[in-house]
Structure 1
Amino acid sequence: MDRRTLLRATAAGGAAFAGSLWAGAALAAPAQPGPGPYGELLAADGNGLQLPSGFTSRVVGRSGQRVAGTSYPWHWAPDGGACFPTGDGWIYVSNSEVPVVGGASAVRFRADGSVADAYRILGGTNVNCAGGPTPWGTWLSCEEVPLGRVYETWPDGSRAAEERTRMGRFTHEAAACDPQRRVVYLTEDEGDGCFYRFVPDTWGDLRTGKVQVLCAPTDQVTGPVTWQDLPDRDGFPVPTRHQVGAAKHFDGGEGCWYDRGTCWFTTKGDNRVWAYDAVGQRLDLAYDDSLVPAGAAPLTGVDNITGTRGGDLYVAEDGGNMEINVITRAGVVTPFLRLLGHAGSEITGPAFSPDGSRLYFSSQRGTSGSATGSGGITYEVTGPFRP
């Protein structure tokens, strides 16, 4: 039995996503291709973006060039990002996935969407890839290097960033906060990486706590899971992913997004979107390109992920054909946008404005494909996103 047949049989025997956003839709299998809620993509606009009818785009920043209306040069290799409300608008935060200087920057928008300011909120760190927002309004910026660290930053620049090494030292990718269980989920970008959660001693204070790793049989793609404490969060000399024999390993952990009882995370090595049901403590597949008819998978190179208040997921591609795909709450996966002329790049940092009307993301290396990320471009898409 080949991998595709085996996975189909396994998924068919799995339950619907109990406790997830899709439970009401009675979805009993991973998402499949189908017509999307916004219709077909139109011809590319002036920014090289193919969008559905009613949507428009603009460029917010270009690496090495000043953000319009400010004196701040946008960082190279823009990666993971998130939006934060302010009293008179919102802030979009973006990591910089470059060595040594790394860090993160922010763009402040006024209520009408115009740019008010841009500035750095973290510097002198190493290969800041993804991360995640916290319920108390900070941004967790994660280093994607062995023994990488998590930094807690303040999007408005009001406070210097602080290192959160108690959250574990490993090749960090993304983070997602679960306020109900008061934990932070963490992905690891290794071919045999793990899925972790940090349990702080006090919710809202990430300075102390314990790190746990998800445990399940090696070949399990759906079913119950457990958590075990990590013996040595510092990961030296034994890497964290090799410390617990029962830990389940994932092929290149990437994006992570939590909403109403479910933590969704992606793995790029096998093009999967996983759904961890935090209420029932079970793991399921939300999407797997091996479970789509051969040659028909719209979503490949899965990477960063975000979601809407209504329950749709938006998954960015690292490679593929440079799309952001939407996985609807009805379990349909379909392209939402496509970026032309960026074959040597990846799409990063998808995040919605607080009111859900604008989607931000970046092409990390732009049209140049430069490995340094000097050609990075950050975009905004505005339109009739459904509630």
Structure 2
Amino acid sequence: MERRTFLRGAVVGASAAAFGGTLMHGAAYAAPAQNGPSPYGSLLAADANGIQLPTGFTSRVIARSGQVVPGTSYTWHSAPDGGASFADGTGWIYTSNSEINPGGGASAVRFNSSGNVTGAYRILSNTRQNCAGGRTPWNTWLSCEEVSLGYVYETDPYGVNAAVRRDAMGKFKHEAAAADPVRQVIYLTEDETNGCFYRFIPNTWGNLSAGTLQVLKAGTATSGSFTWGTVPDPDGSPTVTRDQVSGAKRFNGGEGCHYANDTVWFTTKGDNRVWQVDLANSTYELAYDDSLVSPGTAPLTGVDNVTGSTFGDLYVAEDGGNMEICIITPDDIVAPFLRVTGQSGSEITGPSFSPDGTRLYFSSQRGTTGSSTGGITYEVTGPFRT
């Protein structure tokens, strides 16, 4: 297939990372990725936490479902899922959804400048199966309900303001969200076998109370051009949002979503693909497809949540597979970055880097028990490329 490249924009200032994307530099981004050596080398034997990491990296457990977060009085939620990190003075905050129904919601953990946990607290309660979501440039966490006619909730990672339901962003089986400060829109994935890829255009950037929901329109090919069509009835009743616009492109199980420098990437678990959308030129193609990988066996299966580093590497978490987070580099190499052992009944969720890019947070949703009450949230520290 044609391997068109995406020229990645130059760094335009340190503030760009706070505006929904990650600063990226280097050469062109082409697609789809192929097997190759990881820039961090091969994985070592599992550490005391059962995690295989490259040389120079270490892991620690931050929280366990049903147990008090060490250093706090807060009990961590079950089934930890999507998450994001936020600057907090000289420290930072990591938010995490709870994918249970009913109950759901989201929590946050606060760290000081040394990385010590200084607090943990609830930021959203009494919702349904909160799966993924996304951070906004104005430092809120969008927590998405992965249920039919589900909502997006805008939450405060700092624990000051009450969460607000954002009805205008549509009622459907929400998964992830990614903010695009250039076009002033929020991209949204839908976890249906015949789901769509959406964007929400707020009437006022920074205020998600009102706006227009649109869906990506394209042909059935894995690459080509696209347009946007407005969803007439975002509340999804009596006709679901994905069936309201003629020519809407179908995606098999939309999952994670990440924006940086005029490009948005999102994953589809039903066909183990990572899609790459060139927003400047209104074209799309595959960044990864497990059926197109060579040589050898595809390392990344069960594609799920995705995030990006300051260097421009994508980190894609597996739902199942062999419990890896795999890296896709700017020069189109895909390789394992870490592997969680002894937890085959779980999935990896919520990958997110600390604001300085030196720590990676993620969860094993069901941990060693295979139950939602067995979730474990981790931190990995090491010489990440920046």
TM-score interval (norm. to shorter): over 0.9
Aligned residues: 373
Q: CA deviation at 1:13?
A: 2.4
Corresponding residue number in structure 2 for 1:375? 374
2:243, 2:229 → 1: CA distance?
A: 13
Q: CA deviation at 1:232?
A: 0.7
1:378, 1:26 → 2: CA distance?
A: 34
1:265, 1:277 → 2: CA distance?
A: 12
Q: CA RMSD in A?
A: 1.3
Corresponding residue number in structure 1 for 2:4? 15
Task: Work out which of the residue numbers 50, 53, 56 in structure 1 matches 2:55.
Answer: 53
1:294, 1:190 → 2: CA distance?
A: 31
Corresponding residue number in structure 2 for 1:183? 185
Corresponding residue number in structure 2 for 1:7? none
1:39, 1:358 → 2: CA distance?
A: 18
- Which residue type is aligned with residue 221 of structure 1? T
Corresponding residue number in structure 1 for 2:324? 323
1:73, 1:354 → 2: CA distance?
A: 25
Contact 1:16 1:23 (8 Å CA) reproduced = no
2:141, 2:120 → 1: CA distance?
A: 16
Change (3 A) 1:22 1:296: farther
Q: Secondary structure at the match of 1:234?
A: coil
Q: Compute the TM-score of the two structures, normalised by the length of structure 1.
A: 0.94
Contact 1:14 1:223 (8 Å CA) reproduced = no
Q: CA deviation at 1:379?
A: 0.2
C-alpha distance after superposition, 1:148-199 (max 9, x if no partner): 0000000010100000010000000000000000000000000000000000
Q: CA deviation at 1:293?
A: 3.2
Task: Work out which of the residue numbers 144, 148, 151 in structure 1 matches 2:150.
Answer: 148
Confirm whether residue 126 of structure 1 aligns to residue 128 of structure 2: yes
Corresponding residue number in structure 1 for 2:284? 283
Q: CA deviation at 1:124?
A: 0.3
1:332, 1:98 → 2: CA distance?
A: 35
1:82, 1:266 → 2: CA distance?
A: 17
Between 276-285 and 318-327, report the one with greater CA deviation: 276-285
Contact 2:177 2:188 (8 Å CA) reproduced = yes
Which sections of structure 2, spanning at least 5 residues, go unmatched? 10-22
C-alpha distance after superposition, 1:246-298 (max 9, x if no partner): 00000000000001110000000000001111111111110000111375100
Q: Secondary structure at the match of 2:291?
A: helix
Task: Work out which of the residue numbers 182, 199, 204 in structure 2 matches 1:197.
Answer: 199
Q: Secondary structure at the match of 2:221?
A: coil
Q: Compute the TM-score of the two structures, normalised by the length of structure 2.
A: 0.95
Corresponding residue number in structure 2 for 1:309? 310
Change (3 A) 1:161 1:22: closer
1:150, 1:213 → 2: CA distance?
A: 16
Q: CA deviation at 1:28?
A: 4.2
Contact 2:346 2:366 (8 Å CA) reproduced = yes
Task: Work out which of the residue numbers 28, 31, 34 in structure 1 matches 2:33.
Answer: 31
- Which residue type is aligned with residue 64 of structure 2? R
Confirm whether residue 41 of structure 1 aligns to residue 40 of structure 2: no
Corresponding residue number in structure 2 for 1:89? 91
Contact 1:18 1:277 (8 Å CA) reproduced = no
Which sections of structure 1, spanning at least 5 residues, go unmatched? 1-11
Confirm whether residue 246 of structure 1 aligns to residue 247 of structure 2: yes
